[in-house]
Amino acid sequence: MAGSILASVGAELPRHRAVLAAALLLAALCLMALAAPAFTQHAPDSINLAQAGSPPGLDDAHWWGTDRLGRDVFARTMQGLRVSLLIGFVAALVSVAIGVAWGVLAGYSGGRIDAAMMRIVDILYALPFVFFVIILATLFERGDVLVLLAAIASVGWLTTARIVRGQTLALRRREFIEAARAMGVPTGQILWRHVLPNVAGPVIAYATLTVPQMILYESFLSFLGLGVQEPLASLGSLISEGARDMETAPWLLLAPAGCLTALTLSLNVLGDGLRDVLDPRTRP
Amino acid sequence: MMRYALARIIGLIATLLLLVTAAFFVIRLAPGGPFDEERTILPQVRANLEAAYGLDAPLTIQYARYVSGLLRGDLGPSFKHKDVRVSELLGAGLPVSASLGAAALALALLCGVPLGFCAALQRARVLDHAASVLIALMIALPAFVLGPVLSLVFGLWLRWLPAAGWNDGSLGYAVLPVLTLAAPALAYSARLARTGLLEVLGSDYIRAARARGLGLRRIVVAHALRPALLPLVSWLGPAVAFVLTGSLIVETVFGIPGAGRFLVEGALNRDYTLVMGMIVVYGVITLLCNLAADLAYGWLDPRVRRR
């Protein structure tokens, strides 16, 4: 029994295999999304009512069938995948940048400033923050991708801020930082040259975990009809469309749902694996 | 402990006031108003409507009126649902949403925690690997994917359960929505229980107990379970926010007459008081649950209690 509880070496191996598989799946999805136009002659927004609602099959090269308006589901799903990937990565980049800045400032300042800044994070953490996202998304012109990005990115930075702050707080007391301060290196330079490179590992890991979160928020809003608008589609809006017609045409739901699941699953597994390797707190 | 609780309650009220203030002004920043309908109304009619609802007063006065109404427990009239108070609308929807959310959270904890503990005790064996695959899948499957897919498979193809509807929460109708809402929370609680127990089992005092020759069962039950639950308890506050958010989707997917739809509908229609009512009520629920989780944490962890 003791061996099984404390054995960790054996458990690491399959996990690394899973991480590898996740990375391959993610690469395949990205490649598919980008290269899709080369594989199908159908444009995602070309309407062809004569072929509306045809099921998946090899004829006419509508591999994944067509929707109510005769648009090719494969082309539309791939376009949705591109939009979701783009919004997910950009929103994650923005929110991680906010989180790192907030965390480094709080952790390096310490004392009251730190306490106040982290109290704000605590409060925001406790609120059903998606409510604010919904309100922000309804506030402005619907379908404005920039507003959507801002709304989504405004929720994603909290975890990064907490982690970076913790790391910075620990770094601040290390000798090399103290030495830099004693030599009169300006604070900005200390943060840039000495603190940031040392928090980079966990930041990369949590950034990977932020991407699927952002993709899910975007899909969540698009599912409720508050996100990306026609004729543009994201995986969320395609799922919402597909759920309406799933009784007669289940492929409309299953194609985008499958893609979204594969995407979030691979990103989560990859992020967890990176965190195990890169975050000193979880290192065994 | 009492002083700690008192300080937390004061903090809660301050947070709530901050939330109400921020939400009030952000919503009013939006272009458009509740009476911009497709058919144009006479300017005089619009002016009368706005006067009747107090929308002609300066924003700060409206804010003061709203807050003083709140203090008297009045959420105001709905702008879009004629002659209906916001409290009546929410009163009809909230019990449904609350029972859905409570059932899902209970299911998640009752299944997730034992699953996580078993996985930890069987670390790196078949059960642990199976559990981690299941957990990863349930986290990756959002409610708006899982809900329609469950409804398609069990409702439309197999016809085992109703595909949608609520029917006053009768068991058959509740199964799929509750499962959908519970899945990600179940995964998170299993993951937290697993890492929590593993961390405790690796600590020195457990090793000491083992060295004294205590059996594993005794160690786990008497010494490890309580501290292993701590990370889970501190997650419970955010979990409530998580479930409330998820129930927005689940209610949409399964056509459940809960309160969730009022948020989106109210925001799109610029029904100011309805949106504010949702934010206030859901905000109070989340903050109270956070407080309860924190107090429970103090009760479980003697180090916090003494502080």
Give the model confidence (pLDDT) of A110-152 as tens digits: 889 998 898 888 877 777 667 777 777 776 666 677 878 888 8
Mean of all residue pLDDT scores within chain A: 81
Whether residue B137 is predicted with pLDDT greater than 60 in this model: the reply is yes
> What confidence score (pLDDT) does residue B304 get?
65
Say yes or no: B218 contacts chain A, CB-CB below 8 A.
Answer: no
- pLDDT grade for A245, boundaries at 50, 70 and 90: confident
Contacts of B264 in chain A (CB under 8 A): 134, 138, 224-226
Which of B141, B156, B290 is nearest residue A126 as measured by Cβ atoms?
B290
Query: Is residue A202 reached through a cis peptide bond, with omega within 30 degrees of 0 on the bond before it?
Result: no
Both tokens of B248, joined, read 């927005």
Out of A109-113, A159-163, B134-138, B302-306, which region has the weakest mean confidence (pLDDT)?
B302-306
Interface of B with A in 226-255 (CB under 8 A): 237-238, 241, 244-245, 248-249, 252-253
> What confidence score (pLDDT) does residue B75 get?
84
Whether residue A8 is predicted with pLDDT greater than 50 in this model: the reply is no
Whether residue B34 is predicted with pLDDT greater than 90 in this model: the reply is no
- Determine, yes or no, domain membership for A66: no
Mean pLDDT, residues B114-140: 88
> What confidence score (pLDDT) does residue A152 get?
84
Residue of B145, B198, B288 to mutate when probing chain A, most A C-beta within 10 A: B145
Whether residue A3 is predicted with pLDDT greater than 70 in this model: the reply is no
Whether residue A97 is predicted with pLDDT greater than 90 in this model: the reply is yes
Which of B15, B30, B263 is nearest residue A131 as measured by Cβ atoms?
B263
Out of A142-151, B96-105, B149-158, which region has the weakest mean confidence (pLDDT)?
A142-151
Whether residue B264 and residue A138 make contact (CB cut-off 8 A), yes or no, is yes
Whether residue A46 is predicted with pLDDT greater than 90 in this model: the reply is no
- pLDDT grade for A10, boundaries at 50, 70 and 90: very low
Out of A166-180, A226-240, B136-150, which region has the weakest mean confidence (pLDDT)?
A226-240
Mean pLDDT, residues B19-44: 76
Both tokens of B220, joined, read 């786990």
Collapsing DSSP states into helix, strand and coil, what is residue B85? Answer: strand
Nearest CA to CA, how far is B25 from chain A (Å)? 11
Contacts of A5 in chain B (CB under 8 A): 120-121, 123, 198, 201, 216
Whether residue B186 is predicted with pLDDT greater than 90 in this model: the reply is yes
Using CA coordinates, name the residue in chain A closest to B234: A126
Give the fold, CATH level 3, of B86-305.
MetI-like fold (1.10.3720)
- Determine, yes or no, domain membership for A145: yes
Q: A190 or B39: which carries more pLDDT confidence?
A: A190
Contacts of B20 in chain A (CB under 8 A): none
Mean pLDDT, residues A49-60: 70
Both tokens of B289, joined, read 């649950």
Whether residue B56 is predicted with pLDDT greater than 50 in this model: the reply is yes
> What confidence score (pLDDT) does residue A99 get?
94
Using CA coordinates, name the residue in chain B closest to A12: B124
- pLDDT grade for A261, boundaries at 50, 70 and 90: very high
- Determine, yes or no, domain membership for A134: yes
Say yes or no: B23 contacts chain A, CB-CB below 8 A.
Answer: yes
- pLDDT grade for A1, boundaries at 50, 70 and 90: very low
Tell me the per-residue pLDDT of A202-243, one tens digit each, with 9 for 90 and over. Answer: 888 888 889 998 998 888 888 888 877 777 888 888 898 888
- pLDDT grade for A5, boundaries at 50, 70 and 90: very low
Q: E strands, A39-156, where?
A: none
Whether residue B237 and residue A264 make contact (CB cut-off 8 A), yes or no, is no
Whether residue B283 and residue A127 make contact (CB cut-off 8 A), yes or no, is yes
The proportion of chain B whose per-residue pLDDT surpasses 70, expressed as a percent, equals 96
Contacts of B117 in chain A (CB under 8 A): none
Using CA coordinates, name the residue in chain A closest to B132: A15
Beta-bridge mates of residue B85? B77
Q: A144 or B70: which carries more pLDDT confidence?
A: B70
Both tokens of A267, joined, read 């990103």
CB A97, CB A87: distance < 8 Å:
no
Whether residue B40 is predicted with pLDDT greater than 60 in this model: the reply is yes
ipTM of the complex: 0.80
Whether residue A242 and residue B148 make contact (CB cut-off 8 A), yes or no, is yes
What total of structural domains would you count in chain A?
Answer: 1
Domain that holds residue A91: 2-27+83-282
B9 HSE (CA, 13 A, CB side): 6
> What confidence score (pLDDT) does residue B92 get?
86
DSSP characters for A7-57? --HHHHHHHHHHHHHHHHHHHHHHHHHHHHHHH-S--TT---GGGTTPPS-
A-B CB pairs within 8 A amount to 130
Mean pLDDT, residues A250-254: 86
CB A262, CB A12: distance < 8 Å:
no
> What confidence score (pLDDT) does residue B110 get?
95
Residues near A208 by Cβ (< 8 Å), separated by ≥ 6? A267, A270, A271, A274
Residues near B213 by Cβ (< 8 Å), separated by ≥ 6? none
> What confidence score (pLDDT) does residue B18 get?
85
Collapsing DSSP states into helix, strand and coil, what is residue A129? Answer: coil
CA distance A162 to A200: 14
Write the CATH number for A104: 1.10.3720.10
Contacts of B152 in chain A (CB under 8 A): 246-247, 250, 253
Mean pLDDT, residues A20-45: 83
Collapsing DSSP states into helix, strand and coil, what is residue A225? Answer: coil
> What confidence score (pLDDT) does residue A282 get?
54
- Determine, yes or no, domain membership for A74: no
> What confidence score (pLDDT) does residue A7 get?
44
Nearest CA to CA, how far is A195 from chain B (Å)? 29
Nearest CA to CA, how far is A10 from chain B (Å)? 7
Q: A10 or A154: which carries more pLDDT confidence?
A: A154
